[in-house]
Amino acid sequence: MDRRVIQLAKKESIRIIRQAGQIAKNKFDNLVDIRSKGDSGDVVTEVDHMAEEIIINHIQSLFPDHQIHSEEAGLIGTPSDWQWLIDPLDGTNNFAIGLPIFTTSITLMYRKAPVLGVIYEPWTDRLFVSALNEGASCNDRPIHMKHSPNFLKGNIGWIQGHKVQNDPKAVILRQHIDVSFKRMLRLWAPTLQWCMLAKGDLDGIVLYNSEGDDLYSGVLMVKEAGGSVIDFEGIPFEGMSEEPYLIACHPDHKHDLLKIVKQGLHQ
């Protein structure tokens, strides 16, 4: 793996993600085109396509041999060790109803493992960056996972895939987590929840079958901030998964959170 590729990708991702994010900020609460997407209630806006286009064009101009997978455009290019994952507007449903909880996410994968994650929250002008073995930062300041002295009174983020809907097991687990902690948050902007966890604003995340272009930048962010990401069997999560069921938190709390998840799954 060529670290020079990662460093150039990091520099250029920071530059282009700010441009894409500014498009979203300028268009916020002033949308013209909102369309339904699939059967799960998801939507797509003109901002998704505008931001996506500017990011894809920039990446293709610099890394023509890299493959790209983007939320709206799908798969672009031939197979490569290097693959970019782009979510031009994570939190589109929030954006469409005038709720300023959304981000743009760019991930660089090497042989199906994340090596760079850049997430920009334009409304607050917060730029989160993580690179493999280089740590994580928010607006150039290092961020670290929080150890909570009273974990069971903490705040846990819940993330589920659009296709999960009201799956009975997911509903029961979600309710169990909700009553087991101080607060359970469902932001419908997964990358922002991962960043909140990495920054110490959340105490944990439970992810139920939510794979996509918005996953791996967040996973890398938490790991590089010192967090633990495991599956529902307690096995460290590496690489990619088509149906991920994940737990993320400070390493000192992973057994407690895993125990609560298992309780919820066996009710």
Question: Do 157 and 116 fall within a single domain?
Answer: no
Quote the tokens at residue 113.
Answer: 């493992």
Question: Do 65 and 157 fall within a single domain?
Answer: no
CA angle 95, 100, 106 (to 5 degrees): 70
pLDDT for position 41: 52
Question: Do 76 and 161 fall within a single domain?
Answer: no
pLDDT for position 91: 92
pLDDT tens digits for range 11-30: 999 999 999 999 999 988 87
Instruction: Confirm or deny that 90 is annotated as ligand binding.
Output: yes
Range of the domain at 245: 151-265
Q: Among 95, 117, 142, give the residue marking a domain's end.
A: 142
Tally of domains in the chain? 2
Distance between CA 171 and CA 169 in Å, rounded? 5
Q: Please report where in the chains the tokens 């125990």 appear, as a residue.
A: 259
121: enclosing H helix or E strand: strand 113-121
Question: Do 113 and 203 fall within a single domain?
Answer: no
Q: What residue type is 65 in one-letter code?
A: D
Question: Do 82 and 105 fall within a single domain?
Answer: yes
Instruction: Confirm or deny that 71 is annotated as ligand binding.
Output: yes
Question: Do 63 and 128 fall within a single domain?
Answer: yes
Q: Is the pLDDT of residue 40 over 90?
A: no
Instruction: Confirm or deny that 265 is annotated as ligand binding.
Output: no
Q: Is the pLDDT of residue 32 over 70?
A: no
Closest CA to 116 of 196, 199, 223, 244: 223
CATH number at residue 235: 3.40.190.80
Of the two residues 165 and 248, the one the predictor is more confident about is: 248
Instruction: Confirm or deny that 242 is annotated as ligand binding.
Output: no
pLDDT category at 45 given cuts 50, 70, 90 is confident
Q: Distance between the two ends of the chain, CA-based, in angstroms?
A: 45
Question: Do 83 and 23 fall within a single domain?
Answer: yes
Q: Among 124, 142, 160, give the residue marking a domain's end.
A: 142
Question: Do 134 and 226 fall within a single domain?
Answer: no
Question: Do 104 and 157 fall within a single domain?
Answer: no
Instruction: Confirm or deny that 167 is annotated as ligand binding.
Output: no
Q: Among 107, 125, 142, give the residue marking a domain's end.
A: 142
- The rounded percent of the chain whose pLDDT value lies above 70 is 95
Question: Do 183 and 101 fall within a single domain?
Answer: no
pLDDT tens digits for range 185-201: 999 999 999 999 999 99
Question: Do 182 and 56 fall within a single domain?
Answer: no
pLDDT category at 36 given cuts 50, 70, 90 is low
Distance between CA 256 and CA 88 in Å, rounded? 35
Q: Give the mean pLDDT of 107-129.
A: 98
CATH number at residue 70: 3.30.540.10
pLDDT for position 33: 63
Contact 110, 95 (CB under 8 A): no
Q: Is the pLDDT of residue 59 over 80?
A: yes
Q: Is the pLDDT of residue 104 over 80?
A: yes
Q: How many CB atoms lie within 10 A of CB 155?
A: 16
Question: Do 20 and 86 fall within a single domain?
Answer: yes
